[in-house]
Chain A
């Protein structure tokens, strides 16, 4: 166990003994990333609930084994479990791969951001992320927005690192295609 995981384990131990200061440190470090992950995955209405359930699970003794991964990976894993439950209940979208849309991308479209202000571009990207299938939205959120490395993301979504790479590549291509369509719409309007 390296120093970071040993300090993670010590932090979780202190929290489970009721150490408020230790909890405050951990919460300050992870509330934002977990909230944003939940926000991108299941919307603002559920994001706070996911944060609360994730940290309650930690407090109430869901097992954290520092030898098996980082505390960040562990927390994202719990959050993911709650997110998937919510997605299943609300059926926000049908399952299925959207790779066909990538093939339909027009390669000679202009850059999505050529005629947009920065604010418009950010909003366009946000809308495009929201329209991605959940598996791609998730990989974009974890790897690009929250900057988890491939190994950590693979731990969270429980798949090989190679799958993370290929899924991220497809997600970016799909996002690019969607941005083209979205920004064309903005320009026309």
Chain B
């Protein structure tokens, strides 16, 4: 005649037997296929978004370098503002951010995109090439300088700064 302990032991053993028999049970491969499609769709969406942001950032930089030369003036070139510099990542030195055309738009989830721009773009912001230390061009008279473009989630560039590595 089983006592309480025996009954509990019997139930526990019975449950272990059920668990052992069920261990190979799982959903069909159709469920996995459906979920994998979702994972791939996420990856595709992320890739597309990244490409869009980089493309728009590049376009914004191009606009800076090519379509805004009117900002350059003799005065600015001669006695333009000395950019305030600040330490950036990894010991880099960067100018302050210069606002771009759409800088007043609200911004969320901004990304900083590092690009190379023609050295002549510095003049568009009233900076003489000397304002970005020569190290920015690796100590040589490189045709390009590094710049960080602040791009919003909407892909619109808000500001740019020039960086000396």
Contact = CB atoms under 8 A, between A and B. Distances in A.
5 contacts: A18-B46, A52-B35, A59-B35, A107-B4, A112-B14
A179 interface: yes
A59 B26 contact: no
Nearest to B21: A122
Interface string B1-39: 110101110111111111101111111101110111011
Nearest to B45: A18
Contacts of A111: 2, 6-7, 10
Given A18-B44, A179-B11, 19 more contacts: A16-B42, A18-B42, A27-B32, A31-B26, A32-B26, A35-B26, A47-B27, A48-B31, A52-B31, A56-B35, A56-B38, A59-B35, A59-B38, A111-B10, A112-B14, A121-B14, A122-B21, A145-B22, A176-B10
A27 B35 contact: yes
Interface in B29-60: 30-32, 34-36, 38-40, 42-47
A108 interface: yes
Contacts of B30: 48
Contacts of A59: 35, 38-39, 42
Interface of A: 15-20, 23-24, 27, 31-32, 35-36, 39, 47-48, 51-52, 55-56, 59-60, 107-113, 118, 121-122, 124-126, 129, 140, 144-147, 172-173, 175-176, 179
B8 A176 contact: yes
A32 B23 contact: yes
A82 B120 CA distance: 60
A39 B19 CA distance: 13
Contacts, number: 113
Contacts of B47: 18
Contacts of B44: 18
A48 B10 contact: no
- Nearest 7 CB-CB pairings of A with B: A18-B43, A18-B42, A125-B14, A144-B15, A51-B27, A32-B26, A176-B7
A96 B95 CA distance: 70
A175 B7 CA distance: 10
A32 B28 CA distance: 11
Contacts of A140: 15
A152 to B, nearest CB: 16
A145 B19 contact: yes
Nearest to B47: A18
Contacts of B25: 32, 35-36, 39
A90 B26 CA distance: 23
A108 B3 CA distance: 8
Contact of A52 (B6, B27, B40): B27
Contacts of B8: 172, 176
A51 B32 CA distance: 9
A112 B10 contact: yes
Contact of A20 (B17, B31, B43): B43
